[in-house]
Amino acid sequence: MAKINRKFFFDRCRPFFPNGKLSTRQVQGLTAILDEWEANHNDDDDRWLAYMLATVHHETSTTFQGIEEFGKGKGRPYGENLKIDKKTRYTNTPNIFYGRGFVQLTWYENYEAMGKILNQDFISHPELVLELGNSTRILFIGMLRGLFTGKKLSDYFNETKEDWKNARRIINGTDKAELIATVAKNYYSCISYMM
């Protein structure tokens, strides 16, 4: 199993952060993602890893920790007790399923689906999405399988295609697509393996 050269990675990505410094928590978050990649995906396309890193960089405001959405969904349909069809109300829990975690998981159905996959009760305890291990697994499962929007990493990065900009559709339409594409290419330049 190939190992990512962590020294090279952290030395190269440090300038992407304010003052060129990484906090302990940022290192923990980055390490969790790199560990998951090495353990289960290191034969996959490194562009996938780069794009996931850029997504987390953006979605967590560079904290690399599972965070709660600013405003907690206020003014958005998922900020109420509505299901994804925006008509049906759920009544089995008082919880609101606004964005949480590395990828800002939203909607009752998405919490329910990820909970089933990870054998966690995210409906009763949506705060569990914020835990580093859960945030990491949700990131990988959702982006590799296309569970967020129906689009997945292999749709944009494969033997015949490299589309850094439109890969944003995996998470959220084309919101900030150019910015995230640039960040992803920067992370891609940080990935090197030890012999």
Domain boundaries of the chain, sorted by first residue: 3-66+146-194, 77-128
What class, spelled out in words, does domain 77-128 have in CATH?
A: alpha beta
Q: Are strands 3-4 and 193-194 parallel, antiparallel or unpaired?
A: antiparallel
Please compute the mean of the pLDDT values over residues 8-35 and round it to a whole number.
96
Annotate 88-103 with b (16+ C-beta within 10 A) or e (fewer): eebeeeebbbbbbbbb
Residues 72-116: pLDDT tens digits? 989 898 998 888 888 889 989 999 999 999 999 999 999 999 999
pLDDT, position 168:
98
Residues 55-83: pLDDT tens digits? 999 999 999 999 999 999 898 989 988 88
Please list the residues that pair with 157 across neighbouring strands. Answer: 162
Residues 109 and 84: beta-carbon distance below 8 Å: yes
CA-to-CA distance for 37 and 50, rounded, in angstroms?
11
Please list the residues that pair with 82 across neighbouring strands. Answer: 89
Please compute the mean of the pLDDT values over residues 15-40 and round it to a whole number.
96
